[in-house]
Amino acid sequence: MTPEQKRRLLDQSKLHLIDLPWYVNEYVDYRINASANTLYNYTRDYYKFFEWMVQEELHPGPMKDVDIYTLEKLTIQNIISYERYCIRNNNQIDTIARRLTSLKSLFHYLSQIAEDEEGYPYLQRNVMMKINIRKERLSDKKKAEKIASKILVDDEINAFRQFIREGYGRYLISRDEIRRHSAHTFNRERNLALISLMLGSGLRISEALSIDVDSIDWNRRQVDIVRKGDSGDIASFSDVAAEDMRKYLEIREKRYQIDRTNKAFFISRRTGNGKSNRLTVRAAQLMIKNYASAFGKATLTMHKLRHSFATNHYKINKDLAMLKEILNHANVETTMIYTYISDKQIEQSINKADRII
């Protein structure tokens, strides 16, 4: 994550904190050494919860006025109601689990760590201690099956690249979507370069967007990146990705009207203030969503491009240790899921070949 991305997340966290109670601000300050992404998730989760409390009239509001006593009066049924509210709003099981985990952390701080002037904990009764958090528990094989249907496999990888080059423009024209076609035409080289890099390196989207122009070694097909956890590293990318990235680099400076001091490789279109900034993760996610839907693979996301690379890499090389290093996984167990995906694809390809014969 780049300093710019960290600053943006921290700024968004501060905006949430303006509307949240003082003790939430104190807790976030207590966790100040956590990553920018963690702090952002905390403040977003708390905003959703306190917003729900006011909506349910558990407190008259505003959110920032919800006192400690109101938290002490919360019952198990209240928390279950909040969980059901999240379900009704189509939150995934893991998202709900994260939100409840955030609340557990806050309530633990208020009841076990924070003290008032007389040495008593802020919170006398901690309802979150009674809450069991349900997470989606899947075997590696089940996880692999879920992923397998949502990624690009075999010929689809090059077909998707070609669709961005030529097919998507024709798709938009056929639907008379002039404005979207104009945006695609303007950003096509950049978008293709980013997607091609993801498919040809296995990088996380935040890592890909952290790249600077002068951090790329074109001869070695390597680039300096900022890994998850803010550690520096070197990543390799494919010849195909290099070709698409070079074509984008040729038009980058003139088309996006930037000066040489702007080192971000992936640039956003000029905003109202006349500046071209580093492309954001959110903008990249929305971009892939449009392409994937038109391509007929609506479940495809930026992270699924990473899965696509990993699956294809293992299928060809059969080297789990190498793939672990490329993906920057902490342990090999995380990487093993791609062996299941590959085996499933091999099984399907055999059956497909047998039907053809």
Domain edges within the chain: 3-137, 141-356
Q: What percent of the chain has pLDDT over 90?
A: 53
The mean pLDDT value for 188-212 works out to 93
Give the global pTM.
Answer: 0.66
pLDDT at position 137:
62
Output the DSSP codes for 61-100. S-GGG--HHHHHT--HHHHHHHHHHHHHTT--HHHHHHHH
Using the predicted structure, report yes or no on whether residue 15 has a pLDDT greater than 70.
Answer: yes
- Give the 3-state secondary structure of residue 267: strand
Residue 133 has what pLDDT? Answer: 78
Query: What pLDDT is attached to residue 355?
Result: 53
Q: What's the pLDDT score for residue 56?
A: 94
At residue 136 the predicted structure's pLDDT band, cuts being 50, 70 and 90, is low
Rounded to an integer, the average pLDDT of 31-36 is 86
The residue among 204, 206, 218, 237 whose CA lies nearest residue 313 is 237
Distance CA 164, CA 128 (A): 48
The helix or strand, by DSSP H or E, that contains position 28, with its residue range, turns out to be helix 22-30
Confidence of residue 245 (pLDDT cuts 50, 70, 90): very high
Q: What pLDDT score was predicted for residue 357? A: 44
Look over the chain and give the mean of its residue pLDDT values, rounded to a whole number.
Answer: 87
Contact (CB, 8 A) for 279 and 266: yes
pLDDT tier, 8 (very low <50, low <70, confident <90, very high otherwise): confident
Mean pLDDT across 53-68: 94
What's residue 213's pLDDT?
93
* pLDDT at residue 344, rounded to an integer: 58
pLDDT value at 39 more than 70: yes
Beta strands in 227-341 (DSSP E): 232-236
In terms of pLDDT, which residue wins out, 215 or 344?
A: 215
Q: Which residue from 165, 299, 305 is spatially nearest to 238, judged by alpha carbons?
A: 305
Residue 346's pLDDT is 54
What gap in Å lies between CA 169 and CA 183, rounded to an integer?
10
- Binned at pLDDT 50, 70 and 90, residue 350 comes out as very low
Phi-psi region of 281 (alpha: psi -120 to 50; beta: other; left: phi over 0): alpha
**Highest mean pLDDT, choosing among 178-192, 227-241, 303-317:** 178-192
pLDDT in tens, 137-171: 656 666 666 777 788 888 899 999 999 999 999 99
In this structure, which CATH number among 1.10.580.10, 3.50.30.30, 3.40.50.300, 1.10.443.10 belongs to the domain 141-356? 1.10.443.10
In percent, the amount of the chain with pLDDT more than 70 equals: 90
Q: What is the arithmetic mean of pLDDT over 15-36? A: 92
Which amino acid is present at 60? P
The CB-side HSE value for 229 (13 A sphere, CA atoms) comes to: 6
| Res. 342 pLDDT band, cuts 50 70 90 | low
- Judged by phi (left if over 0) then psi (alpha if -120 to 50, else beta), residue 328 lies in left
